[in-house]
């Protein structure tokens, strides 16, 4: 069966869930990757309110949509971030932020990520996508100098904070797919290797493959699929356009806003950037990935009501199945020449 194509609702959380379902259904999406913010999927209500989960499913079904994954990036970010500050206050539920005491925020975020697994299981979903946060991202520039011991301690802290969360994921039969992303514990190739080693490669922790964060770092997204093939638990399609050719635009983007022409790179709608999409889909076929392909729409230069259906058409054209037999199999098939004397 062809992999379902879904729409990630995180960039649509300003709209009611019912409205997003209506749009996605009319455009022809197979389902949604539902964000746990806005009114789209509220973890606490899913666990405490009779009929809430059934109501979400009824809305999806009415619009001809399925669900294979939910996402809780915003809360996951606070689990092991340092510092915890006003940025987190602006994205976290009030019940997680509380009085803003950093360690209290981290602990409440960890409990909410456990509850996210429980809520996913109640919804019948087996994958949660999200961020982890990082106690060592602040050292990425390595100046003032930072020792190897400090970096190693950061990976240990990540493991200490996330292993109890992952225990709950194991208990309820749900997997966590970490989105490899700057500001997270795993943000490029080698930090992903170190992260998996830190938690002993346990099966509850895998990866959400999103090439948009790799391209501007010059990490090959196709090789990433192959090398981490046993950990690709989910796929997000988001694109990046890199423009570092004029000697002014830097890779770190100079604190400039999205769509500013002086940036060295920008997120763009799927198919409008530099991600090698066909090579990527062929690699996904090679590793046997059969999960959803989720379109994450981000483009400050394009209206989302244009970009989302256009991206669906682009992905559908590439979401072909691998053949069941080699194309050259016919060459070796025996044939009867029918030549008799």
337 domain residue, yes or no: no
Residue 272's pLDDT band, with cuts at 50, 70 and 90, is very high
Q: Does 126 score more than 80 pLDDT? A: yes
Do the Cβ atoms of 75 and 93 come closer than 8 Å? yes
190 domain residue, yes or no: yes
The secondary structure of 30-98 as a DSSP string is SEEEEESSTTS--HHHHHHSTTHHHHHHHHHHHTT-EEEEEE-HHHHHTSS-SS--HHHHHHS-HHHHT
Reduced 3-state DSSP string for 265-317:
EEEECCCCCCCCHHHHHHHHHHHCCCCCEEECCCCCCCCHHHHHHHHHHHHHH
Which residues contact residue 302 at a Cβ distance below 8 angstroms, ignoring those fewer than 6 apart?
268, 269, 272
Against a cut of 0.85, is the pTM above it? yes
**Tell me, what's the pLDDT at 59?**
98
The Cα–Cα gap between 159 and 13 comes to 31
Per residue in 198-228, pLDDT (tens digit) is 999 999 999 999 999 999 999 999 999 999 9
| CA angle 19–23–24, rounded 5-degree value | 115
Per residue in 58-73, pLDDT (tens digit) is 999 999 999 999 999 9
90 domain residue, yes or no: yes
Q: Does 2 score more than 90 pLDDT? A: no
335 domain residue, yes or no: no
Q: What is the domain count for the chain?
A: 1
202 domain residue, yes or no: yes
**Tell me, what's the pLDDT at 320?**
85
Calculate the average pLDDT of the chain.
95
Domain that holds residue 151: 5-329
The Cα–Cα gap between 69 and 196 comes to 21
Average pLDDT estimate for 228-235? 98
108 domain residue, yes or no: yes
164 domain residue, yes or no: yes
Check which CATH number belongs to the domain holding 19 and give it: 3.20.20.150
193 domain residue, yes or no: yes
């Amino acid at each position: 069966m062809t992999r379902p194509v879904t729409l990630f609702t995180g960039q649509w959380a300003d709209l009611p869930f019912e409205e997003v379902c209506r749009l996605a259904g009319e455009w022809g999406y197979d389902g949604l990757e539902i964000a746990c913010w806005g009114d789209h999927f509220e973890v606490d209500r899913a666990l405490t309110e009779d009929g809430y989960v059934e109501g979400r499913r009824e809305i999806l079904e009415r619009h001809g949509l399925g669900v294979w994954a939910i996402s809780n990036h915003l809360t996951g970010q606070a689990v092991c971030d340092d510092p915890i500050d006003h940025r987190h206050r602006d994205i976290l539920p009030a019940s997680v932020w509380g009085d803003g005491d950093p360690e209290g925020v981290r602990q409440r975020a960890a409990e909410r990520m456990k509850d996210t697994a429980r809520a996913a299981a109640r919804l019948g979903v087996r994958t949660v996508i999200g961020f982890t946060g990082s106690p060592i991202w602040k050292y990425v520039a390595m100046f003032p100098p930072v020792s190897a011991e400090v970096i190693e301690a950061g990976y240990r802290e990540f493991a200490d904070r996330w292993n109890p969360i992952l225990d709950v994921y194991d208990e309820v039969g749900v997997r966590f797919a970490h989105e490899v992303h700057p500001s997270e514990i795993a943000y490029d190739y080698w930090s992903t290797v170190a992260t998996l080693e830190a938690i002993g490669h346990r099966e509850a922790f895998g990866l959400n493959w999103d090439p948009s964060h790799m391209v501007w770092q010059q990490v090959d997204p196709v090789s990433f699929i192959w090398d981490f093939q046993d950990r690709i638990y989910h796929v997000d399609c988001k694109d990046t356009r890199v423009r570092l050719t004029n000697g002014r635009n830097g890779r770190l983007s100079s604190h400039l806003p999205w769509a500013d022409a002086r940036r060295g790179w920008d997120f763009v709608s799927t198919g409008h950037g530099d991600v090698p999409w066909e090579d990527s889909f062929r690699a996904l076929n090679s590793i046997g990935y059969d999960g959803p392909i989720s379109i994450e729409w981000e483009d400050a230069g394009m209206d989302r009501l244009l970009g989302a259906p256009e991206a669906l058409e682009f992905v559908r054209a590439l979401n072909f199945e691998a053949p069941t037999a080699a194309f050259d199999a016919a060459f070796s098939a025996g044939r009867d020449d029918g030549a008799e004397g």
